[in-house]
């Protein structure tokens, strides 16, 4: 036996002759030209196009007419064609079919043509199943979209194909054409100009407008809250319950020299048989003057209730307004509860800018937390809805920040300071007492010295401040008789 060296792997092997991709070599002269061992020889395949032997790691896979896998050399790979549908490569002589796929054209193999395509009766090209055309409302399975676009027109509304005699304009001097069914079912007559339109611009009174009249005539304005157009000359307001995050531009009522305004939030649970939306509509229509006095919101802390939120008022103005008592009476007469619930509170916002400085804000908050009058006036103790915090009282270091909006004195808002310690109520006198107490604390803490504020006699000093002031006569009586009697 002769010894040979494999040209591919370099190993020596013993054999009478060695394998060659070009035929056996001269074994007598022991030539190593094109000599391969059996293992390497088996890794060579023949290119299905040119017939040359190619090492298996440098070949490409394709399919023949029998759908058998064959191999192609690097030089001949550019002669293959790729099926537009399955992505497989095929020999150039394999049967293929020209197709239309979307807006492009290409070729598919016989199997994909059979599984996925129809033959168009006009262009003799195959098109994808599922792209059937509706012509005059009748399904046509042998017409591709390219031919349909060439020979037929589409309805400007539904997009289906029609012959010309099935399409009509909806107005004069318009090039758009529509099928009779869409004109009948989906078009409207603009209640402003009298022309037909498919534009669904509804007004607050149920009329329909064309786009030109709604957006460009200058007669209408769009309300985001109502999602409707309204005549600019007609005022309207929203008979609805706003989301908890709703914050309209404030409307200030009354004038105050020191700029102190208050806004109240009255939470109430619906324990009656009336619908919240209907109650809100009745309240707003009757007492809010186009939401200029108050608006109504949902509140996540309530089970089935609502929250009446006033715009900013001076203390003097809100004590004289009539809508507050009317709202409270209507809620009470319709089965709403506030005091006798575990969810309702009375929140009061004070204008932050009215305070002299940040130290005034600190003194105000400190007294609300430490006064012996706070809990009796609030009619409840501090809890998770109105957390008590220990404020730091110092001449030079204000403490007017909050870690949570649920703190009893909440500094989280940009323009207001919220006091949320008070229990809910539907009694007018209770709301008045609450507002007078906050007003008195605001004015007392403007100038009170820290030694007095931090002493055990601070409540007596507060009483001295409100004594003989007509504004606080009822509050003084309440603090000296009703609460401690």
Handedness of CA 335, 336, 337, 343 (dihedral sign): positive
Residue range 101-110: mean pLDDT, rounded = 79
Q: Where are the domains of the chain?
A: 2-42, 188-231, 262-482
Handedness of CA 365, 370, 376, 379 (dihedral sign): positive
State pLDDT tens for residues 213-265: 988 888 888 877 667 788 887 766 555 788 888 888 999 999 877 689 999 99
Residue range 34-42: mean pLDDT, rounded = 82
Return the minimum-mean-pLDDT range out of 6-10, 291-295, 322-326: 6-10
State pLDDT tens for residues 309-359: 999 999 999 999 999 999 999 999 999 999 999 999 999 999 999 999 999
Measured CA to CA, the distance from residue 167 to residue 140 in angstroms comes to 18
Binned at pLDDT 50, 70 and 90, residue 27 comes out as very low
Binned at pLDDT 50, 70 and 90, residue 383 comes out as very high
Measured CA to CA, the distance from residue 240 to residue 278 in angstroms comes to 9
State pLDDT tens for residues 152-204: 999 988 889 999 899 999 887 677 899 989 988 888 888 888 888 887 787 86
pLDDT for 485 beyond 60: no
Question: Which residues neighbour 340 within 8 Å (Cβ) at sequence distance 6 or greater?
Answer: none
Residue range 374-397: mean pLDDT, rounded = 91
Measured CA to CA, the distance from residue 351 to residue 331 in angstroms comes to 27
Q: What is the pLDDT of residue 239?
A: 56
Mean pLDDT of the chain: 87
The 3-class secondary structure across the chain, one letter per residue, is CEEEECCCCCCEEEECCCECECECCCCCCCCCCCCECHHHHCCEEECCCCCCEEEHHHCEEEECCCCCEEEECHHHHHHCEECCCCCCEECCCCCEEEEEECCEEEEEEHHHHHHHEEECCCCCCEEECCCCEEECCEEECCCCHHHHHHHCEECCCCCCEECHHHEECCCCCCCCCEEHHHHHHHCEECCCCCCEECCCEEECCCCEECHHHHHHCCCEEEECCCCEEEECCCCCCCCCCECCCCCCCCCCECCCCCCCCEEEEEEEEECCCCCHHHHHHHHHHHHCCCCCCEEEECCCCCCCEEEEEECCECHHHHHHCCHHHHHHHHHHHCCEECCCCCCCEEEEEEEHHHCCCHHHHHHHHHHHHHCCCHHHHHCCCCECCEECCCCCCCCCCCCCCCCCCCECEECCCCCEEEEEEEECCCCHHHHHHHHHHHHHHHHHHHHCCHHHHCCCCHHHHHHHHHCCCHHHHHHHHHHHHHCCC
Residue, of 404 and 8, whose pLDDT is higher = 404
Other C-beta atoms closer than 10 Å to the C-beta of 78 total 7
Strands 60-63 and 69-72: antiparallel
pLDDT for 410 beyond 90: yes
Binned at pLDDT 50, 70 and 90, residue 26 comes out as very low
- Among all chains, which residue has been given the structure tokens 């949570």? 404
Residue range 364-370: mean pLDDT, rounded = 96
Q: What's the topology of domain 262-482?
A: Creatine Kinase; Chain A, domain 2 (3.30.590)
Measured CA to CA, the distance from residue 419 to residue 431 in angstroms comes to 13
Residue range 141-148: mean pLDDT, rounded = 86
State pLDDT tens for residues 460-484: 999 999 999 999 999 999 999 866 5
Other C-beta atoms closer than 10 Å to the C-beta of 401 total 13
Return the minimum-mean-pLDDT range out of 46-50, 99-103, 208-212, 433-437: 99-103
Measured CA to CA, the distance from residue 271 to residue 341 in angstroms comes to 10
Q: What is the distance of C-alpha 325 from the center of its chain?
A: 38
- Among all chains, which residue has been given the structure tokens 């209907």? 278
Max avg pLDDT among 11-20, 54-63, 432-441: 432-441
């Amino acid at each position: 036996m002769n010894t040979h060296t494999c040209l591919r792997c370099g190993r020596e092997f013993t054999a009478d002759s060695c394998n060659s991709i070009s035929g056996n070599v001269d074994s007598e002269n022991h030539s190593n030209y094109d000599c391969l061992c059996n293992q390497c020889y088996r890794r060579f395949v023949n290119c299905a196009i040119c017939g040359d032997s190619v090492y298996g790691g440098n070949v490409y896979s394709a399919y023949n007419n029998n759908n058998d896998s064959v191999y192609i050399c690097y030089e001949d790979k550019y002669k293959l064609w790729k099926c537009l549908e399955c992505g497989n490569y095929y020999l150039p002589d394999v049967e293929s079919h020209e197709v239309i796929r979307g807006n492009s054209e290409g070729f598919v193999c016989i199997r994909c043509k059979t599984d996925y395509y129809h033959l168009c009766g006009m262009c003799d090209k195959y098109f994808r199943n599922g792209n059937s055309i509706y012509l005059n409302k009748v399904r046509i399975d042998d017409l591709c979209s390219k031919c349909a676009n060439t020979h037929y027109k589409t309805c400007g509304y539904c997009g289906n194909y029609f012959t010309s005699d099935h399409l009509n304009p909806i107005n004069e001097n318009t090039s758009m054409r529509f099928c009779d069914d869409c004109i009948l079912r989906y078009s409207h007559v603009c209640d402003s100009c009298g022309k037909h339109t498919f534009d669904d611009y509804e007004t607050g009174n149920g009329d329909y407008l064309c786009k030109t009249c709604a957006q460009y005539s200058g007669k209408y304005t769009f309300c985001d809250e109502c999602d409707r157009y309204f005549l600019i000359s007609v005022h309207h307001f929203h008979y609805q319950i706003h989301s908890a995050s709703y914050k309209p531009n404030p409307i200030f009522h009354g004038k105050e020299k020191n700029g102190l305004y208050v806004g109240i939030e009255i939470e109430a649970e619906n324990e009656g048989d009336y619908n919240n939306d209907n109650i809100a509509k009745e309240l707003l229509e009757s007492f809010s003057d186009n939401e200029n006095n108050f608006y109504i919101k949902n509140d996540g802390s309530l089970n089935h209730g609502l929250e009446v939120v006033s715009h900013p008022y001076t203390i003097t103005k809100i004590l004289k307004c009539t809508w507050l008592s009317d709202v409270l009476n209507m809620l009470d007469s319709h089965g709403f509860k506030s005091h006798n619930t575990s969810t309702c509170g009375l929140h009061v916002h004070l204008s932050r800018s009215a305070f002299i400085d940040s130290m005034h804000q600190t003194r105000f908050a400190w007294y609300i937390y430490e006064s012996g009058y706070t809990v009796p006036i609030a009619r409840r103790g501090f809890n998770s809805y109105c957390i008590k915090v220990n404020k730091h009282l110092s001449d030079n270091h204000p403490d007017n920040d909050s870690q949570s909006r649920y703190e009893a004195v909440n500094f989280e808002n940009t323009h207001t300071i919220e006091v949320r310690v008070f229990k809910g109520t539907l009694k007018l006198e209770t709301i008045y007492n609450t507002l007078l107490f906050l007003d008195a604390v605001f004015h007392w803490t403007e100038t009170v010295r820290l030694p007095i504020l931090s002493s055990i006699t601070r409540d007596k000093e507060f009483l001295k401040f409100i004594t003989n002031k007509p504004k606080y006569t009822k509050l003084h009586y309440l603090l000296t008789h009703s609460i401690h009697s």
